[in-house]
Amino acid sequence: MALKDGRGGREFDKFVADGSGDTSIRVTSTTSVTTSASAATVTVAATSGTGTEILGATDVEGKSRIGIQLFNVTASGDYTFKVWGSLVSSPGSVGSSNWTQIGDDIAVAASTPNAYKAISTTPIKSVGVTCYKTGGAGTQTATVYLMAD
């Protein structure tokens, strides 16, 4: 009898040997933490470069998956978001020398009622987000949601 291609279809994968050589059933558990930041109006002064900090340094150490949704909830300005990650314990301000940009710049066009894009990454110590308005500086609304588990 052939094994199924998918890992979940192989019955023996749920069994593991413990320290004494006995067999036990594998059990996993996870916890989820959802963090919301900048749900209010954010003054985006920057029109290029690193941009204005939208999500400050957020500790995600010990989490195996990090997902970030970037919302542009304005109808009058396009945003370019940058997601940053750091492995340093005290990395300083987001986008400085202890931070590395995760992925490319993420452009989110103006939309009514809102537009968003998402990005995910693997384990790091801290994550942060900056953005700049490509149509000029001004008071607009940007929202970032972070989920780490």
CB 104 within 8 A of CB 81: no
Instruction: Read off the pLDDT of each residue in 41-61 and give the average, rounded to a whole number.
Output: 79
- Is the pTM higher than 0.75? The answer reads no
What is the rounded CA–CA span in Å between residue 71 and residue 73? 6
What is the rounded CA–CA span in Å between residue 68 and residue 55? 10
What is the rounded CA–CA span in Å between residue 108 and residue 114? 10
Q: Is the pLDDT at 101 greater than 90, yes or no?
A: yes
Work out the pLDDT band at 33, boundaries 50, 70, 90: low
What is the rounded CA–CA span in Å between residue 142 and residue 36? 12
What is the rounded CA–CA span in Å between residue 9 and residue 104? 37
Work out the pLDDT band at 39, boundaries 50, 70, 90: very low
CB contact burial 77-109 (16+ within 10 A = b; e otherwise): bbbbbbbbbbeeeebeebbeebbeebeeebebe
Write the pLDDT tens digit of every residue in 67-95: 888 887 776 778 889 999 999 999 999 99
Backbone angles phi, psi at 33, to 5 degrees: -130, 125
